[in-house]
């Protein structure tokens, strides 16, 4: 009986080296498995921190981009800067800036937005016209001219996409308001030649001839405007008739009566018959 414990003890002592290593590895695995639940929060915490930092960095970049874009929009839409020290011009700037802003945004997202281009051209033309007749100093006149140049720019962009007769008329009137009478006459002469049945070309051509003192040419153009606008759909017939009456009164009633007649229609003569007002498309201000 005494020999049995010694035999068992000897058996353990004689265990192979591979077996001993296996037992050691198993013990290490068991120890690690017991530690894993306590280590998991540490690794998870590090991952969450990295994700939070990345998200914060992304949000900061987005915020910076949005802020830069917002600042760019504000600068683009601030049309009241650079206005000469003239109360009327400042008031016009505030009023027109509010009208123009929505169309500026539309053009920024879609440069080929025809309605927006046309409305911008019309708005700048009307604004430039009003500014021209509210200007007295060289600075103010240059400012008004700049507005009209903006109108021409938008009209040109429109015409590249859609060749419209009414837009050619308004473009020519912008040239007229800028004092470029010869260029305006040439543009309207070409338009009338290419479109002999278009009354607005004849009506405004008559106005420019009259402004230049070419009474016979003016009368002839006005008569063609009446003929091509028999139902007065464009307003050219009534406009041309009023100018013909004025021209005839100047010839038949010289002196004070003629001067009074001329003064009575001077505003109408200066403004012309714009397609913005006469066009029945409903587009424009």
How many Cα atoms sit within 13 Å of 231 on the Cβ side? 1
112 vs 250 pLDDT, higher one: 112
What average pLDDT does the segment 95-110 reach? 95
| Nearest C-alpha neighbor of 270 from the set 211, 192, 189, 187 | 211
What is the phi/psi pair of residue 137, to 5°? Answer: -85, 165
- Per-residue pLDDT for 212 more than 80? yes
What percent of the chain stands above pLDDT 70?
62
- Per-residue pLDDT for 57 more than 80? no
How confident is residue 27, by pLDDT bands cut at 50, 70 and 90? very low
What average pLDDT does the segment 245-272 reach? 57
pLDDT in tens, 117-134: 999 999 999 999 999 999
Element (H, E) at 145: helix 138-161
The pLDDT of residue 5 is: 46
The pLDDT of residue 67 is: 43
What average pLDDT does the segment 165-179 reach? 96
The pLDDT of residue 81 is: 87
Q: What is the CA radius of gyration of the chain?
A: 41
The pLDDT of residue 250 is: 79
282 vs 191 pLDDT, higher one: 191
The pLDDT of residue 274 is: 75
| Nearest C-alpha neighbor of 78 from the set 53, 61, 101, 110 | 101
User: What is the CATH number that goes with domain 84-278?
Assistant: 1.25.40.10
Residue 49: DSSP 8-state: H
Q: Cβ–Cβ contacts within 10 Å for residue 60, how many?
A: 10
What average pLDDT does the segment 145-172 reach? 97
The pLDDT of residue 202 is: 97
The pLDDT of residue 249 is: 87
DSSP 80-100: TTT--S-HHHHHHHHHHHHHH
The pLDDT of residue 44 is: 38
The pLDDT of residue 254 is: 56
The pLDDT of residue 119 is: 97
What percent of the chain stands above pLDDT 90?
58
The pLDDT of residue 77 is: 58
Write down the mean pLDDT value for the chain: 76
What average pLDDT does the segment 239-263 reach? 70
Please give the Cα distance from 230 to 116 (Å, whole number): 32
Q: Domain segments of the chain: what residues? A: 14-77, 84-278
- Per-residue pLDDT for 16 more than 60? no
Q: Which two tokens stand for residue 275?
A: 């397609």
- Per-residue pLDDT for 31 more than 50? no
pTM as predicted = 0.67
Please give the Cα distance from 77 to 95 (Å, whole number): 13
Lowest mean pLDDT among 24-33, 42-51, 245-254: 42-51
Please give the Cα distance from 146 to 20 (Å, whole number): 95
- Per-residue pLDDT for 32 more than 60? no
The pLDDT of residue 69 is: 43
87 vs 2 pLDDT, higher one: 87
The pLDDT of residue 283 is: 35
């Amino acid at each position: 009986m005494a020999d049995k414990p010694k035999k068992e003890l000897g058996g353990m002592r004689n265990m192979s080296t591979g077996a001993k290593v296996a037992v050691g590895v198993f013990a290490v695995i068991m120890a690690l498995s017991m530690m894993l639940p306590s280590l998991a929060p540490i690794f998870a915490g590090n991952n969450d921190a990295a994700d939070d930092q990345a998200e914060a960095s992304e949000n900061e970049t987005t915020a910076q981009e949005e802020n830069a874009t917002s600042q760019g929009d504000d600068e683009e839409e601030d049309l009241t800067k650079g206005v000469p020290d003239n109360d009327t011009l400042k008031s016009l700037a505030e009023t027109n800036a509010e009208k123009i802003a929505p169309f500026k945004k539309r053009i920024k997202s879609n440069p080929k937005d025809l309605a927006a281009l046309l409305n911008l051209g019309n708005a700048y033309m009307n604004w430039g016209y009003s500014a021209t007749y509210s200007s007295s100093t060289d600075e103010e006149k240059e400012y008004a001219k700049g507005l009209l140049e903006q109108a021409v720019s938008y009209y040109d962009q429109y015409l590249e996409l859609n060749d419209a007769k009414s837009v050619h008329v308004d473009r020519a009137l912008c040239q007229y308001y800028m004092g470029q009478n010869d260029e305006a006459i040439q543009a309207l002469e070409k338009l009338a030649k290419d479109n002999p049945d278009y009354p607005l070309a004849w009506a405004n051509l008559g106005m420019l001839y009259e402004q230049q003192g070419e009474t016979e040419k003016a009368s002839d153009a006005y008569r063609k405007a009446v003929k091509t606008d028999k139902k007065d759909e464009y307003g050219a017939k009534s406009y041309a008739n009023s100018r013909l009456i004025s021209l005839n009164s100047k010839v038949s009633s010289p002196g004070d009566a003629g001067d009074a007649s001329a003064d009575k229609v001077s505003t109408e003569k200066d403004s012309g018959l714009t397609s913005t007002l006469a066009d029945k498309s409903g587009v424009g201000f």
